[in-house]
């Protein structure tokens, strides 16, 4: 008996013939469950079943019950999958609306002012402005000292030669526009000879140090070989 596939009622279920997945990361089963739930007319029952769908999504994603931020994100995704058909009373969280889908974020305001000293960076300028606005007291002097120590470290990252304290002090006064006067008796702590300052992300070579026990072990091995 020949199997006439063309005349049979059997139809192959190809993905290309299925409805498009709105959010593929959640899979087709979640989308089908949601389609079924959206047909429920009873508001309370629909809300209950929507919570079940979110619980399934949470289980698949490995999201804990106490992670409210991630759970709210799942409800947002559920709203997108439904075509923004969920109502506010269906969810315990505020739901996104269709209008927000095409909203563009506000442009990031860029500071076009040139950086006064690139090896220090713009953050140092902000710190200097903050310190300059403080009253002239012991706390301000302590902040100037901490700033000078940090600026010295930044200086040595890009300039490997040693730097005098007076150079850092002059940079602070210059970058502050004269608003900060470094006390004449201020002296920074000395830098350790083993201190290494490197750019962020730079890989430092590992220096292997021979421990006393390792040296003894090598000496014993050499004696055995020579015996």
187 with 115, same domain: the answer is yes
Q: Mark whether 145 and 176 lie in a shared domain.
A: yes
Per-residue burial over 70-102, b if 16 or more Cβ lie within 10 Å, else e, is ebeebbbbbbbbbeeebeeebbeeebbeeeeee
Instruction: From first to last of the 227 residues of the chain, give the pLDDT tens digit.
Output: 445 545 444 556 666 677 788 888 888 899 999 999 999 999 999 999 999 999 999 999 899 988 999 999 999 999 999 999 998 888 999 988 887 777 777 788 887 788 888 888 889 999 999 999 999 999 999 999 999 999 998 888 887 778 899 999 999 999 999 999 999 999 898 877 666 666 555 555 555 555 555 555 556 555 555 55
If you search the block for the tokens 């083993």, which residue do you land on?
194
Mutual angle of helices 27-37 and 43-61, in 10-degree steps? 170
Query: Is residue 47 classed as helix, strand or coil in its secondary structure?
Result: helix
Give yes or no: residues 25 and 82 share one domain: yes
Joined together, the tokens standing for residue 154 give 């930044």
Residue 31 falls within a domain, yes or no? yes
Range of the domain at 195: 110-200
Question: 88 and 32, same structural domain?
Answer: yes
Q: What's the 3-state SS for 102-123?
A: CCCCCCCCCCCCCCCCCCCCHH
Q: Do 190 and 156 reside in the same domain of the chain?
A: yes
- Has residue 3 been placed in a domain? no
pTM of the complete model:
0.45
d(CA 119, CA 67) in angstroms, rounded, equals 41
In a domain, 217, yes or no: no
Q: Is the CB of residue 171 less than 8 Å from the CB of residue 151?
A: yes
State the total domains in the chain: 2
Residues 138 and 173 grouped into a single domain: yes
Is 222 within a domain?
no
- Shared domain for 130 and 161, answered yes or no, is yes
Q: Based on the fold, state whether residues 119 and 156 are members of the same structural domain.
A: yes
Question: 33 — phi, psi (to 5°)?
Answer: -60, -40
């Amino acid at each position: 008996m020949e199997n006439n596939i063309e005349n049979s009622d059997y139809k192959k279920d190809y993905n290309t013939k299925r409805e498009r997945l709105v959010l593929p990361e959640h899979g087709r089963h979640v989308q089908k469950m949601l389609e079924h739930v959206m047909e429920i007319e009873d508001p309370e029952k629909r809300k209950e079943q929507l919570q079940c769908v979110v619980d399934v999504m949470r289980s698949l994603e490995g999201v804990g019950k106490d992670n409210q931020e991630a759970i709210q994100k799942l409800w947002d995704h559920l709203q997108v999958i439904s075509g923004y058909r969920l109502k506010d009373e269906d969810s315990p969280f505020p739901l996104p609306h269709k209008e927000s889908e095409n909203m563009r974020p506000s442009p990031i305001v860029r500071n076009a002012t040139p950086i006064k000293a690139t090896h220090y960076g713009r953050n140092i300028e902000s710190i200097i402005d903050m310190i300059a606005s403080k009253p002239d007291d012991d706390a301000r002097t302590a902040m100037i000292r901490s700033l000078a120590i940090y600026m010295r470290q930044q200086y040595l990252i890009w300039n490997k030669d040693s730097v005098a304290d007076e150079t850092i002090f002059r940079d602070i006064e210059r970058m502050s526009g004269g608003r900060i006067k470094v006390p004449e008796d201020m002296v920074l702590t000395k830098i350790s000879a083993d201190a290494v300052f490197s750019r962020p992300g730079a890989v430092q070579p590992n220096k292997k140090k021979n421990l006393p026990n390792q040296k003894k072990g090598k000496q014993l091995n050499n004696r055995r070989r020579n015996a």
